[in-house]
C-alpha cells in the first residue's frame, strides 16, 4: 500500500544513565532531505542516523530531534593532583618552620586550593550511546511509518474515488464519439441537399467526406491508452514500494491523452467531459505530490 510523505513519529526510552527521546517529522519533498538536532557532544550519532534513515525512507523532508535527559549526574570525574597537593603541603610545612608556626595542615587545608583536584568529563562510550540512540530512533521511525501508511490509506481511498469518476466520464466520451460521425454525415447530407435543391447526391463523395472526418476525430487509440494508464495507476496504488514518481508520470500521460481527445473532437458533450476529466486529473496531481 502507498505511503504518504507526511507524518510524525516519537519514541522515548529509559536506559541506565539517561533517557533518550527521538521525534521525527516528515513532509513532502522531491528527494530525501533531512536535518538532525542533537546536543553537540552527541553529534557522532549523525552518521548512524543517515544510514538508518536512507534505508527506511526514499523521499521526503525529515526533521529529527534527539534529546538526552541525564538521570545520573556522574558524568564528571574528580581526581587528586598529587604533585600539586604535595607541593602545597611542603610549602605550608616550610612556612611553618620558617615562621615558627604550628603545623596545622589538614585535608581541609589542602582542599581549599582548587587546583589540588582535577575535574574531568567522563569519557563517553560512543558505541553504547550510538546503539541506544539507534534503538530509540528505529522505534520512532516505526511510529512515523505507521502514520505515513495511515495517511497513505486515506489518499488511496481518495484516488480510487477520483479514478472511478474518471472512468465514468471516459464512458461518456467513448459512447458519444461514434455518434459525432453519424451526426456529421447527416449535417453534410442536409447541407448538400439544401444547396443542390433536390439534385441527386453523390453518395461516394459523401462517404469520402464522412470517412475523412471520421479519421480526423477518431480517438479510439487515445481511449485505449487512457484505460491502460488508468490500470497502471490502480496497480501502483497497491504497490508496497515507493511509487510517487511513477504515479506522477502516469498522471502526465493521462493528461496528454485527454488533451488529445479534446483537440480532436469538436463536440459539446465530449468537450464538457474532457474539461471534467482534466479537473479530476488535477486533483490527482495535487495529492500525488504527497506520495513517497
Which of 3-12, 194-203, 264-273 is predicted most confidently?
Answer: 3-12
Strands 18-27 and 7-14, sheet pairing: antiparallel
Q: What's the sign of the alpha-carbon dihedral 49, 52, 57, 59?
A: positive
SS percent in the chain: helix, strand, coil, step 5? 65, 15, 20
Mean local confidence (pLDDT), 25-35:
94
Which of 182-186, 203-207, 260-264 is predicted most confidently?
Answer: 260-264
Percent of the chain topping pLDDT 70: 83
pTM reported for the whole predicted model: 0.69
pLDDT score of 248 more than 90:
yes
Instruction: Note the pLDDT of residue 229.
Output: 96
Q: pLDDT for 97-136, tens place per residue?
A: 888 878 888 888 888 887 888 766 667 789 999 999 999 9
pLDDT score of 16 more than 60:
yes
Mean pLDDT estimate for the chain: 86
Instruction: Note the pLDDT of residue 240.
Output: 84
68-97 burial: b if 16+ Cβ within 10 Å, else e = beeeeeeeeeeeeeeebbeebeeebeeeee
All three cell numbers of 163: 479514478
Query: Does residue 96 or residue 183 have the better pLDDT?
Result: 96
Instruction: Note the pLDDT of residue 227.
Output: 95
Percent of the chain topping pLDDT 90: 55
Please give the C-alpha separations between residue 22 and each of 41, 140, 186, 244, 272, in angstroms, as whole numbers.
Answer: 16, 6, 73, 27, 52
For Cα atoms 134, 140, 143, give the angle at the middle one, nearest 5 degrees: 145
Q: pLDDT for 67-87, tens place per residue?
A: 998 766 556 677 788 888 888
Instruction: Note the pLDDT of residue 11.
Output: 97
Range with lowest mean pLDDT among 20-24, 94-98, 116-120 = 116-120
Query: Does residue 213 or residue 289 have the better pLDDT?
Result: 289
Q: pLDDT for 43-59, tens place per residue?
A: 999 999 999 999 999 99
Question: Alpha-carbon distance 21 to 3, whole Å?
Answer: 25
Q: How confident is the model at residue 196 (pLDDT cuts 50, 70, 90)?
A: low
Instruction: Note the pLDDT of residue 92.
Output: 84
Give the closest residue to 42 by CA, choosing from 135, 139, 130. 130
Concatenating the DSSP letter of every residue in 170-236 gives HHHHHHHHHHHHHHHHHHHHHHHHHHHTTPPP-HHHHHHHHHHHHHHH--HHHHHHHHHHHHHHHHH
Beta bridge partners of 250: none
Q: pLDDT for 135-166, tens place per residue?
A: 999 999 999 999 999 999 999 999 999 999 99
Query: Does residue 140 or residue 196 have the better pLDDT?
Result: 140
What's the first-to-final CA gap in the chain, in angstroms? 11
Our separate counts of H helices and E strands in the chain read: 8, 6
Q: Which residue has the cell 538526552?
A: 68
pLDDT score of 205 more than 80:
no
pLDDT score of 275 more than 60:
yes
Are the CB atoms for 22 and 11 separated by under 8 Å?
yes
Amino acid at each position: 500500500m502507498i505511503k504518504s510523505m507526511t507524518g510524525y513519529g516519537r519514541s522515548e526510552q529509559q536506559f541506565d544513565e539517561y533517557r533518550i527521546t527521538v521525534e521525527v517529522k516528515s513532509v513532502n519533498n522531491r528527494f530525501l532531505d533531512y536535518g538532525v538536532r542533537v546536543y553537540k557532544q552527541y553529534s557522532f550519532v549523525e552518521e548512524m542516523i543517515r544510514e538508518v534513515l536512507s534505508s527506511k525512507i526514499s523521499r521526503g523532508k525529515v526533521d529529527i530531534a534527539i534529546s538526552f535527559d541525564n538521570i545520573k549526574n556522574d558524568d564528571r570525574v574528580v581526581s587528586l593532583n598529587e604533585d600539586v597537593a604535595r607541593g602545597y603541603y611542603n610549602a605550608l610545612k616550610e612556612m611553618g618552620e620558617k615562621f615558627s608556626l604550628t603545623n596545622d595542615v589538614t585535608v581541609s587545608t589542602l582542599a581549599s586550593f582548587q587546583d589540588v583536584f582535577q575535574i574531568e568529563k567522563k569519557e563517553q562510550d560512543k558505541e553504547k550511546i550510538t546503539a541506544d540512540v539507534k534503538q530509540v530512533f528505529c522505534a520512532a521511525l516505526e511510529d512515523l511509518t505507521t502514520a505515513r501508511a495511515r495517511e497513505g490509506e486515506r489518499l488511496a481511498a481518495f484516488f480510487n474515488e477520483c479514478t472511478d469518476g474518471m472512468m465514468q466520464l471516459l464512458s461518456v466520451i467513448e459512447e458519444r464519439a461514434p455518434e459525432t460521425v453519424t451526426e456529421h454525415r447527416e449535417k453534410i447530407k442536409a447541407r448538400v441537399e439544401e444547396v443542390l435543391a433536390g439534385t441527386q447526391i453523390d453518395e461516394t463523395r459523401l462517404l469520402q467526406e464522412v470517412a475523412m472526418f471520421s479519421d480526423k476525430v477518431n480517438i479510439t487509440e487515445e481511449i485505449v491508452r487512457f484505460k491502460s494508464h488508468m490500470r497502471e495507476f490502480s496497480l501502483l496504488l497497491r504497490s508496497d514500494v515507493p511509487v510517487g514518481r511513477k504515479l506522477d508520470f502516469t498522471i502526465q500521460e493521462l493528461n496528454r491523452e485527454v488533451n488529445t481527445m479534446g483537440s480532436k473532437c469538436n463536440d459539446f458533450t465530449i468537450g464538457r467531459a474532457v474539461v471534467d476529466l482534466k479537473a479530476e486529473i488535477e486533483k490527482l496531481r495535487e495529492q500525488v505530490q504527497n506520495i513517497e
